[in-house]
């Protein structure tokens, strides 16, 4: 699995699996989504998030520019979910 720039952030997982099986990137996105609105990512991490959204939903990436990081994290998770649905995985 490719390492993302988000993997440098330590975040506790909110999943129900014990032990947790979530990749680091997923844990970070879930943590940021459940946090108060604000800036949690570096500029490099924000660009990576926009790239992820754009990779799966090119027409939606620009909608997330300028939003706080909680909205950006939610956008990545939604793009991943939509991609999994398109592939018949969900």
Are the C-beta atoms of residues 60 and 27 closer than 8 Å to each other?
no
Sketch the domain layout of the chain as residue ranges: 40-90
**Do the Cβ atoms of 74 and 80 come closer than 8 Å?**
no
pLDDT tens-digit series, residues 21-80:
778 888 889 889 988 988 889 999 999 999 999 988 666 888 899 999 999 999 999 999
Task: Report residue 17 as tokens.
Answer: 């699996």
Tell me the whole-structure pTM to 2 decimals.
Answer: 0.81
Q: Is the dihedral of CA 78, 88, 23, 48 positive or negative?
A: negative
Length of the chain, in residues:
90
- The pLDDT of residue 1 is 47
């Amino acid at each position: 699995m490719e390492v993302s720039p988000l993997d440098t952030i330590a975040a506790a997982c909110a999943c129900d699996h014990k032990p947790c099986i979530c990749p680091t990137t997923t844990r970070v996105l879930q943590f940021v989504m459940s946090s108060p609105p604000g800036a949690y990512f570096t500029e490099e991490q924000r660009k990576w998030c926009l790239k992820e959204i754009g990779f799966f939903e090119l027409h939606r990436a620009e909608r997330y520019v300028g939003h706080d990081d909680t909205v950006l994290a939610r956008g990545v998770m939604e793009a991943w979910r939509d991609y999994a649905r398109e592939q018949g995985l969900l």
